A and B are shown apart, each in its own frame.
Chain A
Amino acid sequence: MKELALHILDVAENGITAGADRICITVEEDRTENRMEISIADNGRGVPEDVMKRITDPFYTTRTTRRVGLGLSLFEDTARRCGGSMTIDSEPGQGTRVTATFVHDHIDRPPLGDMAGTLMTLIYSNPEGDLVYRSHSGDGEIVIDTKQVRKQFNNRPITDPDVFRHLMKQMEQIKT
């Protein structure tokens, strides 16, 4: 994966597959501490204990179409390679939170990348669900919350052209 935003998309898609209707993505960049933290939390069905033990094993998957499961393994590998780590907290029936940390200026740390593309893809592919994106860095805080956006438009669907255009405009602020 060339961008952290692609890892985020991948992990968040897992949440949607797990039946989540609310995904919260947080990106924190702390340059004074030289640290970056990404967390993806969902309110899906959670990870059973026996699966959790092997979840980052690349040769373990719950799927039957193929024998490898690389998503979380790759994310963990990227975090470790960049002087950080990845943790998964999950409560069956409540949801899952994946948190990864990185040394901010580590030479191997991929750029955050096209976060707007990731968010629009997530929103469009799961129009009934809600998504909250929070990014915090030295430049300030950005919050995008699809629930707020829909409220502004009298709960019209997110795929409605007006709502969609408005979201696209909001995305401009996170384009790098």
Chain B
Amino acid sequence: MGKMTIDDLKKIKEQTSEETSLRHGAANVKIIVHMGTCGIAAGAREVMNALMDEMGQTDRQDIRVMASACLGMCSSEPNVTVAVEGEEPIVYQHMDANKMRQVFRRHVLEGEVQTDFALARG
């Protein structure tokens, strides 16, 4: 193999970044933070920030985080829905940063539904 040029390096960089993007492909777990006015006023932003932090610490590429609107259950906000592929989605209620971390580590990563915080199934 001859000498590497800047162009070669650029190519490698592009390829690697493409691969990284590809890993953003299939989603097996969806985490939806409900961020209507009610959710935001009740602390959904702190829940989302804790979730971002947890996401930054995992290598799992099949987890998607989304923000969506109010569920219509404003009194139990902040609500978070965890939908694992092939399982019924679980809606968690009255979430905060610590509960979010627990749900992420135990339910999302290990598959163990945290019934103490759950509001509903489906």
Contacts and interface: CB of A to CB of B under 8 A. Distances in A.
Contacts of B70: 63, 65-66
Contacts of B36: 10, 13, 71
Q: Is the interface of A mostly helix, strand, loop or mixed?
A: helix
Given A1-B40, A9-B35, A125-B67, A120 B52 contact: yes
Interface string A57-74: 000000101100111001
Interface string A1-37: 1000010011001001100000000000000000000
A6 B17 contact: no
B56 A13 contact: no
A114 B71 CA distance: 25
Interface residues of B, number: 27
Interface in B56-111: 56, 65-67, 69-72, 74
B39 to A, nearest CB: 9
B28 interface: no
Nearest to A156: B17
A70 B42 CA distance: 13
Interface of A: 1, 6, 9-10, 13, 16-17, 63, 65-66, 69-71, 74, 114, 117-118, 120-121, 124-126, 153-154, 156-157, 159-161, 164-165
